[in-house]
Amino acid sequence: MDVIWDVIIVGGGPAGLTAGIYTSRHGLKTLLLEGRKIGGRALDAHWIENFPGFPQGLTGPQLMDQFTSQAKKFGVQFKEETVIGINNLDEVHKMVSTRSGFYQTKSVIIASGVQRKQLTIPGETEFKGRGVSYCAICDGPFFKDKKVAVVGSGNEAFSESLHLADMASKVFLIPGRRGHSLNSEEHLESIKRHNNIEMVEGVDILEICGEESVTSIKLKGGHLEKLDVDGIFILYEHVSTSDIIQDTGVTIDGSGCIMVDNRQQTNIPGIFAAGDCCCAGMQVVTAAGDGGKAALSALRYVKSLKN
């Protein structure tokens, strides 16, 4: 508690690690707090081939190891603690509370990510990264000329189905649970214009099946009991993991996404946000870019306190 940090980063995914690289390299005393595994959702990526500088591709864990090593090289301090609150003490200092204690800091970068709703059915965890995906933009190219299922009834599921239809040979769009459906006439008309998109309504998904990778999904209800597919994209609307900031007065939108300006500044001076918790991009490269911007803004802010 005696230490006053220049910046505390909440979250150890691509955004938080990049922010730490920038702040520590510029001489700011930086603490990164992560209650789970360092690397965030990027750890679930079976293969990443679109991150600049790695043309040969690499796994999500391999890329996050590179991020972590670079952050440690410049002096970021890591603590495995879950943040439960952020408070403004005065115009200069803020308090970050964890289940283990309290930390005082001049600035905060929130990079806590989002959490995807899951189906929680047999096969989902087993085939994650081997046919089960939560991001069509990320993994769609792996399914060129293959059959895929898209699960979800929101705007994201609809738009990602259209995106996949340009690559996959067949896209089965499944609202996900009986009683769920796409209600937008505009959406339905767009789907009808794609001969390779088929709506499968009135069913529950019971199990994701396969051997080395996904080969089919079992259904209940309707006239189908099984669909042969090479992949399944689970695209329920995301859930923000930034509940910790609701009591701070930081502005969030109706989906729980943190609102920031073009420098990643929230409505509270000295509190910044970066990456998926801002609900923009949802890619490793965009999260890293946000983290870099937030770090440079935090650097300017901390320097302004010394003047």
Report which of 36, 39, 35, 88 is spatially closest to residue 60, judged by C-alpha positions: 39
Which SS3 state, helix, strand or coil, does residue 13 take?
coil
pLDDT tens-digit profile of 149-182? 999 877 778 888 888 999 999 999 998 654 445 5
Catalytic residue among 139, 230, 276, 290: 139
Task: Please tell me which of 35-49, 130-144, 284-298 the model is most confident about, judged by mean pLDDT.
Answer: 284-298
124 assigned to some structural domain: no
Q: Tell me the range of 29-33, 220-224, 233-237 where mean pLDDT is highest.
A: 29-33
Alpha helix locations (H) across the chain?
14-25, 60-73, 136-139, 155-165, 185-192, 284-306
Sign of CA dihedral 84, 86, 89, 93: positive
Question: Is there a domain that residue 284 lies in?
Answer: yes
Range of the domain at 211: 132-234
CATH number at residue 17: 3.50.50.60
CA angle 262, 265, 271 (to 5 degrees): 165
pLDDT score of 89 more than 90: no
209 is catalytic: no
Q: What's the pLDDT tens digit per position in 243-284?
A: 677 667 888 887 778 999 999 999 999 999 999 899 877 789
Domain final residue pick, 234, 252, 286: 234
Asked if residue 275 belongs to a domain, the reply is yes
Active site residue 277: no
For residue 146, what are the CA distances in angstroms to 131, 165, 189, 198, 224? 11, 10, 24, 14, 20
- Structural domains in the chain (count): 2
Residue 261 appears among annotated catalytic residues: no
Residues 197 and 284 in one domain: no
174 within a domain of the structure (yes/no):
yes
Counting every residue written for the chain, the total comes to: 307
Of the candidates 2, 44, 65, 138, the residue annotated as catalytic is: 138
From 6, 65, 135, 279, active-site residue:
135
Q: Are residues 103 and 249 in the same domain?
A: yes
Residue 122 lies in a domain: no
The answer as to whether 51 is a domain residue is yes
Q: What does the pLDDT look like over 219-230, one tens digit per residue?
A: 998 788 999 999
> Are residues 245 and 109 part of one domain?
yes
Residues 6+ away with beta carbon under 8 Å from 55: 49
**Other CB atoms within 10 Å distance of the CB of residue 8:** 27
Q: Is residue 120 part of a domain?
A: no
Q: Are residues 16 and 102 in the same domain?
A: yes
21 with 109, same domain: the answer is: yes
pLDDT score of 183: 54
Give the single-character DSSP code of 40: G
Residue 32, Ramachandran bin (φ over 0: left; ψ between -120 and 50: alpha; else beta): beta
What is the torsional sign of CA 19, 21, 27, 30? positive
User: What's this model's pTM, rounded to 2 decimal places?
Assistant: 0.77
CA–CA dist 51, 274 (Å, integer) = 18
Amino acid, single-letter form, for residue 274? A
Question: What pLDDT shows up at residue 52?
Answer: 93
Residues 41-88 have pLDDT tens digits of 888 888 899 999 999 999 999 999 999 999 999 999 999 998 988 988
Cβ-contact 176, 199 below 8 angstroms: no
